Structure 1
Amino acid sequence: MTAETIPKPKAGESVWSDSDPVVLILTIGFILLFVGASVVDADYVAELIGHGFSWTAKYLGSFFQLLLLLTFFVAVATGVSGAGRARIGGLDEPEIGRFRWLSMIMCTLLAGGGVFFAAGEPVYHFVVIPPAFDTEAASPAAVAPALAQSFMHWGFLAWAVLGSLTAIVLSRAHYSQGQPLQPRTLLYPVLGERVVSGRLGGVVDAACVIAVVAGTVGPIGFLATQMSFGLHELFGVSDGYGTQLMVLAVLAGVYMTSAMTGLHRGIQLLSRFNVILALVIAGVIFVFGPTLFLTDVYLQSMGEYLGSFFSMATMTAQTAPDWWMKWWTVFFFAWFIGYTPLMAVFVSRISRGRTIRETIMAVAILAPIATTIWFTLLGGSGIYHQLSGTFDLTDALNNFRFDVATLTVAQALPGGTWMAAAILLLTTIFVATTGDSMSYSIAMVGAGHDEPQPWIRVFWGGAMALMAAILLYMGAGQIGVLQQFIVITAIPVSLIILPSLWTGPRAAAALAKEQGLA
């Protein structure tokens, strides 16, 4: 069986015939259970998930760190090997142009999280020194370590796990062996046909979809609160649930429309516009902002990042405060692990015709470098103004008010209010690109092929927006509880992606051999 013979929905069939019933039942069941339990007793749900979150961070945090480290180095080794010349998807030429392809990767994988934290996280690490460093807080010597710690959370390790080895495994199994483009296929080289065709495969897919739902609803909800706060501060709009609901409606309308029109229209268009807007904002900040400071700080911070790479990546709760590891390194690493299978599905789908080397270098090297530059422009500017006394974000960041931090930094950038409005727009579109790509990917997981029915894509996008609306009505705290839950979902997902450490290089070698490159 080849990829072209994988069953696709026929005209006149029910929309739901294009979805795996096990995935539907378990995923929708989770959404209903979480929302229902939160309505009945929100405090108990928060306490229960909080205990699970703490246990996971304490006992499995080191495993998550090791998994990301190994994935990065094995992926890079695979990319530079001879097998890296093999092409994904059996095409001689890329299906999607390079700029559009890179735009989709950047917007989907960096997504709203990177934009939310780009301004505030470096400033936080500047005023609260990370445990890997012993410099004086809020001093000039603390600038490079602060950005280096942010680079660790959003740099090479984070990107590599999201779309390198796992994407290779899925690509070979799907395009060469005719297996479905679903997370269960990651286990096909290990467990064979039984996991792909049986109910166990449905459970595997559902676990991965639940992790992505938990991880995506959070940014959607946080965007609504951030936009509501920003619109109030900038334009005097009422900051409340009504404004949050309006933001959610507009956001959902944008990314559901984008997902419905597919990869070659809405998703590409939205991603390309977002990258162009980000480049314009970056150019304005660099040219009209503290240019020399940002240039010097980037070089120093990148040097600190590379020099302290292993000490930051391998730091555990034995050598760092338990709360710090739980809420920073382990939280982020678990978040990325939870996203990995669905991101791998998306990267595999958009990378047809690209070489393995090109894909790995783009995902694991180029995209992280672009991310560190973005963090330096926003976060470095924030540190510059914090250091010079333009504002003081210490209290806001100690209370994890990153919405306040982002808006405060944005207003201090060249252009003031207009720049702040542009960054709010950029953040909105970043979250929209996450929503459309994940709606598309979840629909692909349910269908098992590359072109899921449009209304299934719309359904999943709407379900996540509705879940965010209900949880926001109960208070933004429940969105945070759901964010903690993704750390728990990283447990099964980490076991699903673990075999890619050896099946990824083997899949690359097999593709090279099939294409006469061995």
Structure 2
Amino acid sequence: MDDYTRKKKGLDWIAFSISGGLLILFVIASLVDDKLVGQLINDSFSFTAKYFGAYWQVLLLVMFIVGLILAFSKYGRVRLGKIDRPEIGNFRWISMILCTLLASGGVFWAAAGPMYHYVTTPPLFSGVEKGTIEAAIPAMAQSYLHWGFSAWACLGTLTTIVLMYAHYHKGHPLKPRTFLYPMFGEKIFKNSFIGSTADIVSIVATAAGTIGPIGFLGLQVGYGLEAVFDIPNTFITQAIIIIFLAVIASISAATGVERGIQWLSRINVSMVVLLMVAMFILGPTLFIIDLFLGAEAFHLQNFLSMSLYRVDQAWLGSWTIFFWGWFIGYGPMMAMFISKISRGRTIRELIIAVAVIAPIVSNIWFTVVGGTGIFSELENPGSVSNALIESGMPATVMAIMNQIPLGTAFAIGFIIVSVVFVATTADSMSYTVAVTLSGTDEPNRLVRVFWALMFGVVGVSLLAIGEETVGMLQNFIVVTAAPVSLLLLPSLWDAPIIAKKLAKEQHIIKKK
């Protein structure tokens, strides 16, 4: 038995009380004065976007570049986790990776993002006339950036290397504070204020990053049920949807990673592939192929300029900085989750799967969904954009479904996929939060269930605030990411140092 499995199992009541207490306090405050809470969230968002935005853009870009250098160097052969073979097969492994970030909003944003950029044109490409065939490629490329290489890289490449080394090779607990082990040594685990702070802010940021998609889901499915079944899209409907989702996630959480998360992931990836192939065949097939190739080439050509664009601060806050804050907030817990499922993988396998394969799959998904919407808009102006302008982003998916054969069947399929996708995210994130609080790979199931339900309750509270709900959800996500981004920074130099050390131990390079 390895050292980490012999670690004392006990709940970190300080981290549990503070992180859980903050969310409960948020719910109570929302009930007492929702306008004040909304104003505080918006003010905090403005501060965070202004003072952390440029740092986040550079951080994610550098993480991706350093990861690629490691993957394609001799250090890419380093095997992580102190075992010679992966514990999980390739399809199940990549399925679980995809069902994290893509699940957290892939359906909602795959439709809304490209269409919004198509009818408004991102400021970096303001010279392109909006709503034209020429606007389709930069619109799609902008979505690729937001859900692409840099976004995935911050979720589980360098940080996962650091965490797997400290956990599997050195026997330290699977917690966010473990990211700081190379810097602070053993003292980070011994009643450390810095360690406890790292755990707490990561839990709160993960909660925000999970609550946001749950809220998006409530809006998306609420609109979809009204469009398909004439069920009134009210706050009550949205709240019932979210509570139902939280219950599904709780049931899955209670069954463990080997059953719940893996089963949901396989089912959902299979459904997504089926939907994507059917849309590709029944939709504008040649247009989707051309758009993907053209937009991917445009994306790669303009990758640096899009990554570091800093002129229009308001636009950045609504898009790039929002997404970067969201994914950074997920970062520590995603690294923990990927560490759990990636034991026995090489650095090259890890980085290629997370930072290359997953983004390309995301881009294909966005092209099939968003590209179908753009094609419909080109053929019949207003067929999709009117729904976006009049009813907001949640209406975009249903508007696109109305433009293709078997649209009602696709709409129902998207509703089901959305629910299972976000249930998978809530399940996996409740698992990592519980791992953080217990320090063991097999945390108490009641703790996992508590967090899955808490995600739903806070999601309902945010929807209850009412005005500009999507904006409120976005702002809430971004605010919590500021301290977490500081926690991810040391991995830029710690991961290469660890890779070199393990390369010597595994005789990949000669010891001097």
CA shift for structure 1 position 248: 2.2
Counterparts of residues 104-253 of structure 1 (less than 5 Å): 104-133=96-125, 134-197=127-190, 198-253=192-247
Matched, 1:456 2:447: yes
SS of the residue corresponding to residue 89 of structure 1 reads coil
Matched, 1:366 2:328: no
Matched, 1:414 2:405: yes
SS of the residue corresponding to residue 433 of structure 1 reads helix
CA shift for structure 1 position 266: 1.1
Q: Which of 505-514 and 449-458 deviates more?
A: 505-514
Q: Distance in 1 between matches of 2:505 and 2:420?
A: 40
2:215 partner letter = G
C-alpha contact (below 8 Å) 1:337/1:494 kept by paired residues: yes
Matched, 1:301 2:295: yes
The two structures have a TM-score, normalised by structure 2, of 0.95
SS of the residue corresponding to residue 152 of structure 2 reads helix
Q: Distance in 1 between matches of 2:390 and 2:484?
A: 30
Deviations 1:157-191 (A, max 9, x none): 10001110000000000001111111101011012
CA shift for structure 1 position 201: 1.1
CA shift for structure 1 position 242: 3.3
C-alpha contact (below 8 Å) 2:462/2:473 kept by paired residues: no
2:402 partner letter = Q
Q: Distance in 2 between matches of 1:254 and 1:488?
A: 28
* Alignment equivalent of 1:24, drawn from 16, 23, 36: 16
2:264 partner letter = L
* Alignment equivalent of 1:61, drawn from 46, 53, 58: 53
SS of the residue corresponding to residue 111 of structure 1 reads coil
C-alpha contact (below 8 Å) 2:188/2:195 kept by paired residues: yes
Identify the residue that residue 80 of structure 2 maps to in structure 1: 88
Identify the residue that residue 314 of structure 2 maps to in structure 1: 323
CA shift for structure 1 position 398: 4.6
Deviations 1:63-85 (A, max 9, x none): 10000000000011111121211
2:273 partner letter = L
Q: Distance in 2 between matches of 1:38 and 1:24?
A: 21
CA shift for structure 1 position 313: 0.6
CA shift for structure 1 position 5: 4.5
Counterparts of residues 3-42 of structure 1 (less than 5 Å): 3-9=3-9, 18-42=10-34
C-alpha contact (below 8 Å) 1:218/1:480 kept by paired residues: no
Q: Which of 301-310 and 241-250 deviates more?
A: 241-250
C-alpha contact (below 8 Å) 2:35/2:465 kept by paired residues: no
Q: Distance in 2 between matches of 1:417 and 1:354?
A: 42
**Alpha-carbon distance change, 486 to 400 in structure 1, aligned in 2, over 3 angstroms:** farther
Q: CA RMSD in A?
A: 1.7
CA shift for structure 1 position 369: 0.4
Identify the residue that residue 388 of structure 1 maps to in structure 2: 379
Deviations 1:330-357 (A, max 9, x none): 1111111111000000000100111111
Q: Distance in 1 between matches of 2:406 and 2:497?
A: 51
Identify the residue that residue 14 of structure 1 maps to in structure 2: none
**Alpha-carbon distance change, 480 to 131 in structure 1, aligned in 2, over 3 angstroms:** closer
CA shift for structure 1 position 453: 1.4
**Alpha-carbon distance change, 380 to 503 in structure 1, aligned in 2, over 3 angstroms:** same
Identify the residue that residue 468 of structure 1 maps to in structure 2: 459
Calculate percent identity across the aligned residue pairs: 46
Q: Which of 77-86 and 277-286 deviates more?
A: 77-86
Identify the residue that residue 90 of structure 2 maps to in structure 1: 98
Q: Distance in 2 between matches of 1:186 and 1:23?
A: 17
Q: Distance in 2 between matches of 1:439 and 1:479?
A: 23
Matched, 1:490 2:484: no
SS of the residue corresponding to residue 367 of structure 1 reads helix
Q: Distance in 1 between matches of 2:508 and 2:248?
A: 43
Q: How many residues align?
A: 507
Identify the residue that residue 401 of structure 1 maps to in structure 2: 392
Q: Structure 2: state its 5+ residue gaps.
A: none
CA shift for structure 1 position 229: 1.7
- Runs of 4+ displaced beyond 6 Å: none
Identify the residue that residue 13 of structure 1 maps to in structure 2: none
**Alpha-carbon distance change, 264 to 113 in structure 1, aligned in 2, over 3 angstroms:** same
**Alpha-carbon distance change, 249 to 476 in structure 1, aligned in 2, over 3 angstroms:** farther
C-alpha contact (below 8 Å) 1:147/1:376 kept by paired residues: yes
SS of the residue corresponding to residue 132 of structure 1 reads helix
Identify the residue that residue 260 of structure 1 maps to in structure 2: 254
The two structures have a TM-score, normalised by structure 1, of 0.94
CA shift for structure 1 position 502: 0.3
C-alpha contact (below 8 Å) 1:68/1:160 kept by paired residues: yes
Matched, 1:289 2:283: yes
1:71 partner letter = M
Q: Distance in 2 between matches of 1:399 and 1:180?
A: 50
1:179 partner letter = H
1:52 partner letter = S
CA shift for structure 1 position 407: 1.3
